[in-house]
Amino acid sequence: MRRQLSAEDAKFRDELREFFTTRIPEEIREAVQARRELTKDQMVESQRILNAAGLAVPHWPVEWGGQEWTQLQRHIWHEEMALACVPPPLTFNTNMVGPVIAAFGSPEQKERFLPATANLDIWWSQGFSEPDAGSDLASLRTTAVRDGDDYVVNGQKTWTTLGQYGDWIFTLVRTDPTAPKRQQGISFLLIDMTTPGLTVRPIELIDGGVEVNEVFFENVRVPAENLVGEENKGWTYAKFLLGNERTGIASVGATKRNLATAKQHAAELGLLDDPAYAGRIAELENQLLALELTALRVAGNSADGKPDPASSILKLQGTVLQQAVTELAVDLAGPAALASGAGDTSELPEWARLSTPVYLNYRKTSIYGGSNEVQRTIIAGTILGL
Amino acid sequence: MDFTIDAEQEALKGAVRGLLARAYPSSETRREVVSTEPGFGEDTWRKLAEMGLLGLPFAEEDGGMGAGPVEVSLVAEELGRVLAPEPFVEAVVLAGGLIASAADDQQRAALLEPLVAGESLPVVAWLEPGRRWASDAERVTATWANDRWTLSGVKEPVLWGARADVLIVSAATDVGTGLFVVSPEAAGLTRDGYITHDGLRAARVELQATPASPLGDVSRDQAPLLEAAVDAARVAYGHEALGAMSTALETTVGYLKTRKQFGVTLNTFQALTFRAADMYVSLELARSTVTWATIVLDAAAEGQDVDVPAAVAQAALQVSRAGRHLGQDAIQLHGGIGMTAEYSVGHYMSRLTAIEHLIGDGPFHRARLAAQVSDHEVLDPIG
């Protein structure tokens, strides 16, 4: 057992810290710190800077821009990025569709999509969930029927985050409705969002924002060359996608940063001298420490495509703590937490005005990416054998 | 950052597990042992000595094995798995650790060698009535008169205080807190032993002008030495708790798979399996934190600049939260059988509760951490 970073890892960390804090525009990092919504241009600009330096897709195969880093180095990369308020590379591109294309795509698909995906020249959206297929994803009903060189897609996807910016959407579609098991009739299809018959409709959320969308497909013709891997093997690729990249699933770095900011506000308000608040913050810091140490402990255990089931702990507890910190901010804001609609003429500080929308928005974290109840099912079944 | 153990450490763990499996093949054996005086297995204690475990953390020149906190943690965790009552943490980690850090050369040899051989059981009398885990002494005072030290006052609870062959007593001196060695035959010493709820033994120890010899240099405040030894013991108890929690969870999972109600096994009910999943989460979060505290202790022993008290408080807080969660839910998921003395899980909850009151409870350690909350922007374990 060993505590300290090796000299090599310490140097690695210092270099990343230097890069993140000097090369990503201050204005973007400030917006992240203040928990403002980023513009599309800001996200693209940030990711391109990272990509140019080889820091956008370190977990990809080396020939497509990946780095031969250890799990610990990936952890450091993710944490330093979060602590420096650098927006993480777009997860749909770098953690979801990119690795799937790299692993299962044709050579032409790799050439065509991977460099553009890493550089955010293509903005990907996710088309998995449907109105009647949430946690039970395999019950999806959107169909793709082969017609000559095309598939004809009909149906509806939902909860498509930032779909309003999407250039392309990766989807799970039913290609064999007669398959004996419903998981066996699903394919993984890439669809250009400008194709006729595809429409995006925003869904307003409880925080007043419109970050998720419904996507409708009405006789959308998709060239068959956009099928990833084999027809009816989509479920395998989807499982790979969901299990592939677990670095940062616990969001420790971002939660740490948000807790540090909350602590600063507590200090300004004199509430750090209140034993109830000091104790609550100490407890949160301790829970976060336990989570980070657990992330470090399981980091070495995940083999390619087969996540350590212990990563369910990271998703579960990670979202519990993300939510707890947003709740702390609301409590610290007090009556100022009401003023979410106030503009810059308000007497109340911006963080306090934003605190409730963020708190409301973060309820999503324990629902998406496999709800916390799904994580408990995995722990009980796969780990405990119940 | 490396949480893995090497082959030699793996072998040590296996050997200890084997020895304890023979000594405590079932919770019934453990029940018999703790219901007979002195409350632990003298024979098992000798076997631990023969294996060299009672000298594990001490320097080779003191008859020890020269091992570190990692090896100690492996032994403690195995003891915890079967709730072995042997006073390893009390005698080796706490009393032995204090002797090793505070005593002069002659005393060290005289006190450690018989401990390592399993011939003498030293314990530390530091907890005081009306006070909560304070390392400075108030209720026992030390007086220098007629060319000798005498101690007066009461210590309670003193773990294994009635059985102990040597008492290390903390007492208030003119300069703070001093540490003193008291022989069980000393004049004016009264020891009233009793059974603790977890089946172990403690005592009320009263000293009335009891002659005592200083442990090391009592002309300075020795409270920091006591605090450091207690911190090392806290981490070892933390590992004992991890062992106990692991078994409590394994037992519960086994029960859910086999017990039938409404014609089906209990693992058919999601309300129960989800609670077991949450127990696993608590246990693994505690395991990371406690293991990390051991890594920090190890780093400190190698002279690195680390904050041991903070790491200990962090681990202890996590142990408190997890211990309550695992102990309480292990019983609840069993139902009535979990309440019986004949079945094991109830004893696990009792022991976890005892451990918490040895190391300091959740509110105690949370307050320690809360007092430092302004000292840092973020906690950084790998910094």
- Summarised one tens digit per residue, pLDDT across range A116-147 is 999 999 999 999 999 999 989 999 999 999 99
Q: pLDDT class for B157, splitting at 50, 70, 90?
A: very high
Q: Which residues of B touch A255 (CB under 8 A)?
A: none
What average pLDDT does the segment A190-194 reach?
98
- B105 and B242 co-located in one domain: no
Rounded to whole angstroms, the Cα distance separating B383 from B374 reads: 18
- Residue A249: what pLDDT? 80
Interface confidence, given as ipTM, is: 0.95
> Which of the residues A3, A259, A298 would you substitute to probe the B interface, choosing the one with the greatest number of B C-beta atoms within 10 Å?
A3
- Summarised one tens digit per residue, pLDDT across range B229-275 is 999 999 999 999 999 999 999 999 999 999 999 999 999 999 999 99
Asked if residue B383 belongs to a domain, the reply is no
Asked if residue B23 belongs to a domain, the reply is yes
Specify the number of domains making up chain B.
3
Q: Which of A2, A282, A293 minimises the CB distance to B288? A: A293
Interface membership of A1 toward B (CB under 8 Å): yes
Interface membership of A83 toward B (CB under 8 Å): yes
Asked if residue B140 belongs to a domain, the reply is yes
Asked if residue B77 belongs to a domain, the reply is yes
Asked if residue B166 belongs to a domain, the reply is yes
- B30 and B148 co-located in one domain: no
- B148 and B28 co-located in one domain: no
Q: What is the DSSP letter of A229?
A: S
Interface membership of A286 toward B (CB under 8 Å): yes
Longest dimension (CA), chain B: 78
What average pLDDT does the segment A236-255 reach?
83
- B145 and B254 co-located in one domain: no
Give percent of chain B above pLDDT 70: 99
Listed range (A98-112, A161-175, B369-383) with the worst mean pLDDT: B369-383
Selecting among A8, A245, A268, A347, the annotated active-site residue is A245
Is residue B380 over pLDDT 70? yes
Domains, chain A, in order of start with CATH, read: 7-89 (no CATH), 123-234 (2.40.110.10), 246-383 (1.20.140.10)
Interface membership of A21 toward B (CB under 8 Å): no
Q: pLDDT class for B382, splitting at 50, 70, 90?
A: confident
What average pLDDT does the segment A231-238 reach?
96
Q: Which of B281, B288, B370 minimises the CB distance to A278? A: B370
* B116-120 own/partner pairs: CB under 8 Å, 24+ apart: B116/B49, B116/B52, B116/B54, B116/B55, B116/B58, B116/B62, B116/B63, B116/B64, B117/B49, B117/B54, B117/B63, B118/B45, B118/B46, B118/B48, B118/B49, B118/B50, B118/B54, B120/B165, B120/B166
Interface membership of A332 toward B (CB under 8 Å): no
- The pLDDT mean for chain B works out to 97
- B102 and B136 co-located in one domain: no
- Residue A305: what pLDDT? 46
CATH of the domain at B316: 1.20.140.10
**SS3 category, A58:** coil
- B54 and B192 co-located in one domain: no
Q: Which residues of B touch A278 (CB under 8 A)?
A: 370-371, 373
Residue A228 contacts residue A105 (beta carbons within 8 Å): yes
- Whether the pTM exceeds 0.90: the reply is yes
Q: Which of A5, A290, A384 minimises the CB distance to B288? A: A290
Give the list of residues 6+ apart from residue A323 with CB closer than 8 angstroms, or none: A359, A362, A363, A365, A366
CATH of the domain at B16: 1.10.540.10
Using the 3D structure, point to which of B159, B181, B214 is the last residue of a domain: B214
CATH of the domain at B180: 2.40.110.10
What average pLDDT does the segment A89-112 reach?
97
Asked if residue B2 belongs to a domain, the reply is no
- Summarised one tens digit per residue, pLDDT across range B30-79 is 999 999 999 999 999 999 999 999 999 999 999 999 999 999 999 999 99
- B72 and B137 co-located in one domain: no
Instruction: Write out the residue range of the structural domain in which residue B13 sits.
Output: 7-121
- B49 and B182 co-located in one domain: no
Q: Which residue is listed with tokens 């077991």?
A: B276
Asked if residue B234 belongs to a domain, the reply is yes
Q: What is the DSSP letter of A93?
A: I
Q: Shortest Cα distance from B178 to chain A (angstroms)?
A: 32
- Residue A303: what pLDDT? 46
Q: Which residues of A touch B285 (CB under 8 A)?
A: 287, 290-291, 294, 313, 317
Give percent of chain B above pLDDT 90: 97
> What are the start-end ranges of the H helices in B37-88?
42-50, 69-81
> Which of the residues A16, A273, A293, A298 would you substitute to probe the B interface, choosing the one with the greatest number of B C-beta atoms within 10 Å?
A293
Residue A80 contacts residue A250 (beta carbons within 8 Å): no
**SS3 category, A234:** helix
What average pLDDT does the segment B86-91 reach?
98
Rounded to whole angstroms, the Cα distance separating B79 from B58 reads: 19
- The pLDDT mean for chain A works out to 93
Q: pLDDT class for A247, splitting at 50, 70, 90?
A: low
A 346-375 residues inside an 8 A Cβ radius of B: 373, 375
Is residue A301 over pLDDT 80? no
- Residue A70: what pLDDT? 87
- Summarised one tens digit per residue, pLDDT across range A327-372 is 999 999 999 999 999 988 999 999 999 999 999 999 999 999 889 9
Task: Specify whether A27 is catalytic.
Answer: no
- B147 and B247 co-located in one domain: no
Q: Which of B2, B253, B286 minimises the CB distance to A384? A: B253
Using the 3D structure, point to which of B121, B147, B169 is the last residue of a domain: B121
- B88 and B159 co-located in one domain: no
- Residue A221: what pLDDT? 98
Give percent of chain A above pLDDT 90: 85
What average pLDDT does the segment B366-375 reach?
96
- Residue A246: what pLDDT? 64
What average pLDDT does the segment B213-239 reach?
98
- B209 and B297 co-located in one domain: no
Asked if residue B379 belongs to a domain, the reply is no
- Residue B77: what pLDDT? 98
Using the 3D structure, point to which of B121, B148, B175 is the last residue of a domain: B121
Residue A198 contacts residue A216 (beta carbons within 8 Å): yes
- B207 and B241 co-located in one domain: no
What average pLDDT does the segment B97-111 reach?
96
* Pairs across A and B, CB distance < 8 A: 143
